[in-house]
Every structure is written in C-alpha cells, then in structure tokens.
Structure 1
Amino acid sequence: MLKLALWQGAGVANDHAATLSEVERIVSDAAASGAGLIVFPEGYLTGYHIPGLTAADLSDVEAALARVGRIAADNAISVVMGSHVLSNEGVRNAAVIFSSTGEELGRYYKRLLFGPWEKETFTPGRHVTRFEVGGLNVGVLICYDVEFPELVREEAQAGADLVVVPTALMAPHDRIARQLVPVRAMENQLFLGYANRTGTEHGLDFVGLSSINGPNGETLASAEADQKLLFADLDPDLLRRERAENSYLEDLDRND
C-alpha cells in the first residue's frame, strides 16, 4: 500500500533558497507521516505565472532541482516537483520526478497549454512519463492536461494505477476541481492526486481544492483554499475490487 501526500501551497516568490527550505520542511513532514510519494503543485519551485519569463530567468533551476533530489534522498521519499525548466526545444512547464534515493526518474512536459500566456511562453510536451513507486504504476499530467479525457484514458490503458497532477487552477474555474477531477478517477478506475496552488500571483487567484480521489470517484482527502498537506492510503485491493466488479477498460476493449 502506498501513502500518497500532496502539498497545497505556493513557494516563496523570487527566492529559490527560501522555497527549498519550505520543500525540505514539507517533505520531512510527509516522510515522518509514512508517505512514500509527495506531489507539489505546478510551478512550485519557480513560481507558475511569471509574465515575460525567459530562459535567462531559469539559469539556477537545475541547481535547485538537484537540491530537491538530495531532499528526497535524505527523507527516503519519492517527489514530484512542479517547475519551469529549460530544454533543447525551449522553456517547458515540467513535473520532475525523483526516486526515494534522489535519482531523477524523468521529466513530464505539459502537453496541453492553457491560455495565451502559456502558449506564448512554453514549448508543449509530446511524450508521456511514467514511474513505479510502492507497487503502483504512476502516470503524470499537469493541470489543463487532466481536462482532456483522452490523456487520462491513455494512462489507464497503459496500466496506470495512479495519475498525479501538479496544478495551478485559478478562479473562476473551481468547477474543474470540484466536478471533473473525481469523474476522471471514476471513469478510468484509478487513483488520482490533484495538487493545486494557493494564494495569488501576478493577478491570478488560485482556488486550492486539491484532492486525492479513488477508483469509484470517492474523495479520500481534500482541501479548501488554505495551505495543507493531504494524505491518503492507496490500497491496490480497492483497485482490483472496483475493476473486477465492472471494468470499463475491459468492456471497452471487448467492444472494439
């Protein structure tokens, strides 16, 4: 069984060192509570909405990410960190995955970019990123990606037991967190962890409403608007029971 932790909050604006201090505190708290994986929101390390963001603004991000890897190793917990990064193709909106030994397992780049600012700023991703932790197969999406049923179904068909979603959902779009996210878990019969930001940033008000959802759409843990560390135990037997009773994926395959 995997204990999943989500952090709902924001980093310290324009201060990677202070943000990393917060990461160290939060990761330590999650590990002390028995979590095997913790997920941070979209753009947590760098800030999410940064008008005029350029490659030069990200010159120290790799050093900061290396520190996140050491924090993961020090606490023997896997970490998914939201951060803007540089790639050979340009600036990316990423989720960077670290194992419990601090090894970087991969980087997922947001595929569906939301609104004019994201489309002007980031190069979209084209590939999936998956990893294994605590006996569960884990897929990764970022924020707007989860609003497309095709992307979550792709993860389910590839054998994902859990999809984690670093997020920066802003007002007035709270219906996504309240209504759509639990349905994505239910219709694909998997666990889904949705880790949103809080507070305000350059004119955007983030709604919080992070949640961990189970394979029949039940909410296992949730938050409102304040900073919060969420936990839920993800039991593989629950997945097996739900899928055995009425498997959407198997029935879909039989109809092809």
Structure 2
Amino acid sequence: MKRKVALVQMDIQLGSPEANYQKAAQAIKAAASHHADIVVLPEMWNIGYALSDLKDIADNNGQKTQQFLSKLALENKINIVGGSVAISRGTSFYNTSYIYDQTGQLIGTYDKVHLFGLMDENQYLKAGVKESHFALAGIPSASFICYDLRFPEWVRTTARHGADILYFPAEWPSSRIKQWKIMLQSRAIENQAFVVAVNRVGTDLDNEFNGHSLVIDPLGNIICDGGEDEQVCYAEIDLEKLAEVRGPIPVFKDRRPELYH
C-alpha cells in the first residue's frame, strides 16, 4: 500500500488568523490538485506564537478550525492532519491538533503534552494529558507536536499501539534544526515507523524558522526534505517496507517494560 503525503511548509503570519486560514486553504487545495492522499499543516498555524494575544485571537473551542478543516477535507476529498492551532477551552488555552478524514469527519484530536518554556508556552497554555492514535487513510497513525519530539518515552508510549506513521507538526527554530533531523530519524528507527514532520519557515518576534520538513522511512532514511522555502512538498510512502524492517527486528515484541522506570 502506498500513500502520497503533502507537507505544508508555511510562513505563518504572527497574530493574523485570517491571513493564515487563507494560506492554509490554498495549500490544502494545492495538495488535492497534486493527488495527495494526506496533507499535513505545521504547528500553531492559525496565529503563530502570539501567545500574549490569546484572549483576543485564540479559536474559541476550536470551532472555526474544525469547520474550516472539515469543509476542506470533504470538498477536496483529502485527509488532513491539521498541524495545531491555538484554541480556548473554558478559561484555558491549548495547543491543539485536529485530524480529519476525506469525508470531513473528525477522527482525532491532541493537546500538546510537553510545553516549551523557551517559547513561553508554559506561561500561557495548559498541557494535554492524553495520547493521540487513529487510523487515517487506512493507516494506523499517531500525532505529536514539536517539543514532544524530545521525549522518546512519550512517543514510544503512544506508538506501542501499532502506529505505522508518526506525525510531528512543529515550529522548530533554525538554531536547533540539526537536532530536529537527528531526533526525527531516531524516532523513526526506534519505533520502526514512517515519520512525517512539518516545520514552518519565516520569522516571528524572537525566532527564525528554516523549514526542513521531513519524511523519513523506518530505517531512518530521509525520503523528502522540504528545504528552506515556503512551499508544499510531496513524498510517497510505501507501507510494505514496514514488514521488511519489523520482521527481522521485532522491537515491540522484545520490550521488557517491567524493567523500565
């Protein structure tokens, strides 16, 4: 089984949700026109890290984003991993991902579990507490957000349910992009899964982002690197390769969790 994925490497406009929704819509339509099965957006694509303005511009209960993604998924007959957006829920704010199938049905949500102090998330956002695993385009999958990448125990905890693709939307600064690549390759190898990671480009008030969205196979080979320009890049995932990797080295079968503390 093969699937074509589209990685939306956006230049996010800080604190400008209308401009960002318009840009995301154009990218999703472009992905559909290129016959992608799955399109993936970056982290916090609705407002960027305009965290001090959350009270005014966060998406209330994620309603606008959910309607937006559902409509585009159905109209374009494309599966969407909605990166993540800043939402309000009650009196709290979250960094939240929504996943839609090609019929416009919501099949997964995820609140970012690990909040990144260097970008002040811990001052403004509430952390999630639940795993995210789902079947998208017929593929067992799991989703994480940016800083979660630095916690292999969390990725393994989620991946143990049988994920074939691990999604990592992010706003990962260029100063640490070398670590981004190494850790993504490690997560692919140790979990024997494909990794689809989408990073933004551009700048905000404090950071510069240089893309390098990646698709990585279960052996750690980079199938696609989005480079440093704003674009939608594409890669084909051949899921038959999973059996070739997992058969000889059954890491999940050989785990000894009773020893892990």
Shift of residue 52, structure 1, vs aligned partner: 1.2
CA–CA distance in structure 2, aligned partners of residues 231 and 183 of structure 1? 22
- What does residue range 35-114 of structure 1 map to in structure 2 within 5 Å? 35-47=36-48, 49-58=49-58, 62-81=63-82, 82-88=84-90, 90-114=92-116
> Which amino acid is the alignment partner of residue 210 of structure 2?
V
CA offsets, 1:102-137, max 9 Å, x none?
Answer: 222232110001115110010000001222122211
CA–CA distance in structure 1, aligned partners of residues 9 and 205 of structure 2? 18
1:15 matched residue in structure 2? 16
2:208 matched residue in structure 1? 205
Shift of residue 92, structure 1, vs aligned partner: 0.1
Where structure 1 has 5 or more consecutive residues not aligned to the other structure, the ranges are none
Shift of residue 12, structure 1, vs aligned partner: 3.5
CA offsets, 1:173-206, max 9 Å, x none?
Answer: 1122221111110111001111001010112111
Change (3 A) 1:218 1:95: same
> Which amino acid is the alignment partner of residue 109 of structure 2?
R
Answer yes or no: is the 8 Å Cα contact 2:46–2:85 preserved in 1. Answer: yes
Answer yes or no: is the 8 Å Cα contact 1:165–1:192 preserved in 2. Answer: yes
Shift of residue 89, structure 1, vs aligned partner: 6.1
**Which of 127, 130, 133 is the aligned partner of 1:127?**
130
Query: Counterpart of 1:145 in 2: which secondary structure?
Result: helix
Answer yes or no: is the 8 Å Cα contact 1:147–1:176 preserved in 2. Answer: no
Q: Which TM-score applies when normalising by structure 2?
A: 0.90
Kindly indicate whether residue 242 of structure 2 is the aligned counterpart of residue 236 of structure 1.
no
Calculate the aligned-residue CA RMSD, in Å.
2.0
Where structure 2 has 5 or more consecutive residues not aligned to the other structure, the ranges are none
Answer yes or no: is the 8 Å Cα contact 2:148–2:154 preserved in 1. Answer: yes
Q: Which TM-score applies when normalising by structure 1?
A: 0.92
CA–CA distance in structure 2, aligned partners of residues 33 and 156 of structure 1? 29
CA–CA distance in structure 1, aligned partners of residues 258 and 14 of structure 2? 51
Answer yes or no: is the 8 Å Cα contact 1:53–1:121 preserved in 2. Answer: no
Answer yes or no: is the 8 Å Cα contact 2:12–2:200 preserved in 1. Answer: no
Shift of residue 147, structure 1, vs aligned partner: 1.2
Answer yes or no: is the 8 Å Cα contact 2:132–2:142 preserved in 1. Answer: yes
